[in-house]
Amino acid sequence: MKTVRVNASRSYEVKIGSGLLETVGSETAKLTAGQALVVSDENVAPLYLPKVVGSLRQAGLTASSASVPAGEPAKSPEYYVNLLNILAAKRLTRSDAVIALGGGVVGDLAGFAAATYLRGIPVVQIPTTLLAMVDSSVGGKTAIDLPAGKNLVGAFHQPSLVLCDPDALSTLPEDVLRDGCAEVIKTAVLFDRDLFDHLRDRSTGFDREAVIARCVEHKRDVVCRDEFDTGERQLLNLGHTVGHAVEKCSGYAVSHGKAVAVGTAIMARAFSKDADEILSVLRAFGLPTETAFSPEELASAALSDKKRSGDTLTLVVPERIGRASLKKITVGDLLDVIRAGY
């Protein structure tokens, strides 16, 4: 088992190891002696909820659960308010805890409910997708979507504990696992030549515990330097400006991970001295590096993105594997960048 300590506005541990799902009760009992409400979705609940609730009860906690439909539509104001009503009906207090058991959707929704109910109660994140383990469960961003766009309402609310059990990945559909791999490759391209080499040499047979721990350490480092996302944390958006454009142009038929892979490939071709290596690792993981949408379509979709402020936008530029920088460009330059990397 590996432990990564995050010293953000709250200090907490991220534990990564096989069998950690069995320890949810004893670990949560160190944080609260009261109630725990476990939030999961309809795919995750039948697989892991009985084990988690059983473990909490065995540790002497009062445990109950709530489940939402699987997928992005659960990050809605309606499911958020439902969850708040459940927390209120069960009379949870600030000395109780919400437990988010699932992928990034459950983590964001349950995290946001915990962030706002009673002005904030503790949340334990138990990520069950690779993306949630290496990315969304760590760092304290929580959010729901509005009809006008994704993640438009949210809060920074650091978890009190994160437990990553790589065994949970065994039930993950191949395609969802691949999406998570895109974020792992992104992390390596940004920060870590050794991690990149490990992924290149072992491909999808990589050492899950070690790789998740490494990615969490990198995310921790960035989050601790820029918790509230005003500078360096934007590095984590490598490939995401163009990636979001691909998702949007496809009407969200292209998944986030695959769209980010395309975005990373375009930025690599446009800027990186190591573009060939980056493209070959993306392909080795079965991820796309090209898109049928034209540079003009991508640029116009990207420019309607909420992350733009005024006439400029910040691009993440991969220079060499393990080294990247932020570059402000004018909106008019985006099309040229996409063309250069197309």
Ligand X SMILES: NC(=O)c1ccc[n+]([C@@H]2O[C@H](COP(=O)([O-])OP(=O)(O)OC[C@H]3O[C@@H](n4cnc5c(N)ncnc54)[C@H](O)[C@@H]3O)[C@@H](O)[C@H]2O)c1
Q: Residues in the site for ligand X, rule: CB under 6 A? A: 41, 43-44, 47, 70-72, 75, 102-106, 108, 128-129, 131-132, 135-136, 139, 141, 150-151, 168, 171-172, 176, 179
DSSP element (H, E) containing 124: strand 123-127
Q: How far is the CB of 311 from ligand X (least distance, A)?
A: 26
- Residue 296 to residue 293: CA distance in whole angstroms: 8
Cβ pair 100, 124 in contact under 8 A: yes
Q: How far is the CB of 281 from ligand X (least distance, A)?
A: 20
Q: How far is the CB of 128 from ligand X (least distance, A)?
A: 4
Give 72 or 333: the residue with its C-beta nearer to ligand X. 72
- Residue 202 to residue 210: CA distance in whole angstroms: 13
- Name the token pair of 341: 């990397």
Give 135 or 274: the residue with its C-beta nearer to ligand X. 135
- Residue 305 to residue 52: CA distance in whole angstroms: 38
**In sequence order, what DSSP letters do the residues of 47-72 get, joined into one string?**
HHHHHHHHHHHHTT-EEEEEEE-SSG
- Residue 329: CB atoms within 10 A of its CB come to 15
Measured torsion, CA atoms of residues 111, 117, 122, 123, in degrees rounded to the nearest 10: -20
- Residue 192 to residue 323: CA distance in whole angstroms: 8
Q: Could you tell me which residues are beta bridge partners of residue 45?
A: none
Q: How far is the CB of 46 from ligand X (least distance, A)?
A: 10
